[in-house]
Amino acid sequence: MRPRPHLALAVLTLLAACGPMSPERAYQTCSERARAAAGPTGSIGVGVGSGGPTARLEVGITSDYLAGRDPQLVYDRCFRQLTGAGPTRPLIL
């Protein structure tokens, strides 16, 4: 059987992805999730182009918001799941 370096590299990459996330990245991810738990999120866009006027509306409602979960608890649980440790920074909404 011949060695397959590409296969070994792919396996190592997948194993590395299973490890804990950096605290900074977890803070960003979990802060967004906590903000979404605090209330509906969304954006509105209006513009004019060669095809005439355009409009865009996006609204996001998460299951955390619908369940009435505390954004602080959502943040804490998310951070622990992603890093395996407690939050290193407080949540700022």
> How does pLDDT run across 39-93, given as a tens digit for each residue?
999 999 999 999 999 999 999 999 999 999 999 999 999 999 999 999 999 999 8
- Strand pairing partners for 46? 55
Cβ burial of 86 (10 Å; 0-12, 13-18, 19+) is: exposed
Residue 20 is predicted with a pLDDT of: 84
Q: Higher model confidence: residue 8 or residue 82?
A: 82
How far, in Å, CA of 33 to CA of 79, rounded? Answer: 10
Residue 12 is predicted with a pLDDT of: 46
Residue 53 is predicted with a pLDDT of: 95
Cβ burial of 23 (10 Å; 0-12, 13-18, 19+) is: middle
In the predicted model, is pLDDT for residue 15 greater than 50?
no
